[in-house]
Amino acid sequence: MTNALTVEKQAVVTWLYRRITFVERGAYMVHDFLNRRGFTATPEKPSEMPRELYLELWGILQIAAWEEAGLRPFLPEDLPDAKSAYESFVDRFLGDPEAYSRGATGCELSKRVTEAWSLKLDGAALDFLQIDVAVTGQLPDVTLEQIAEMAWKHRHLGRSGENV
């Protein structure tokens, strides 16, 4: 009984760690995006943007990253593409800039992105394979030999330029 409880606790800790890691990478994504555009916050001059605005921006950037990586076919059909999500964001922001401050908008897209990641993209990828994402579902009709050949051909692409 104690062993089963320990396994359950470990599963919860792993689940939480995966989600925290995913969201943390999202925070860095938003930070980098804003920094490249000259929006910087410091302890002396913190950002005054509401968190809902950051959350929506993260959702848009995450979708764009997935699309750039060619993962659009694996995402839920009802998840907007990055361009549409961005246009909607701009329209809402220009129409009612205070909506984010009131918490009236912004969190829905980030919730949907997190759900898409949880349900469609394997959160275990980072932990077990040391990669950011692994696609779940049926593999195309390839042989183990073809996969091995592809891995060997691209072995120079390992972390820090080391062969893997």
Q: How many CA atoms lie within 13 A of 61 on its CB side?
A: 18
Q: Mutual orientation of helices 51-68 and 107-120 as an angle, nearest 10°?
A: 40
Residue 62 falls inside a structural domain: yes
**Residue numbers of the domain that contains 56:** 2-137
Residue 67 β-bridge partners:
none
Residue 148 falls inside a structural domain: no
User: Residue 135: helix, strand or coil by DSSP?
Assistant: strand
Give pTM, 2 decimals: 0.68
Question: Looking at the predicted structure, is the pLDDT value of residue 117 above 80?
Answer: yes
Residue that has been written with the tokens 């396994």 in this structure: 7
Q: How many CA atoms lie within 13 A of 42 on its CB side?
A: 3
- Give pLDDT tens digits for 4-28: 667 777 777 777 787 888 888 888 9
The pLDDT value given to residue 114: 87
Residue percentage of the chain with pLDDT more than 90: 17
Name which of 28-42, 73-87, 114-128, 150-164 the model is least confident about.
150-164
Residue 123 falls inside a structural domain: yes
Residue 154 falls inside a structural domain: no
DSSP state, residue 121: B
Residue 142 falls inside a structural domain: no
More confident residue, 148 or 129: 148
Q: How many domains does the chain have?
A: 1
Residue 162 falls inside a structural domain: no
Q: How much is the average pLDDT of 125-152?
A: 59
Band (pLDDT 50/70/90 cuts) for residue 129 is very low
Residue 158 falls inside a structural domain: no
More confident residue, 34 or 12: 34
Q: How much is the average pLDDT of 67-95?
A: 90
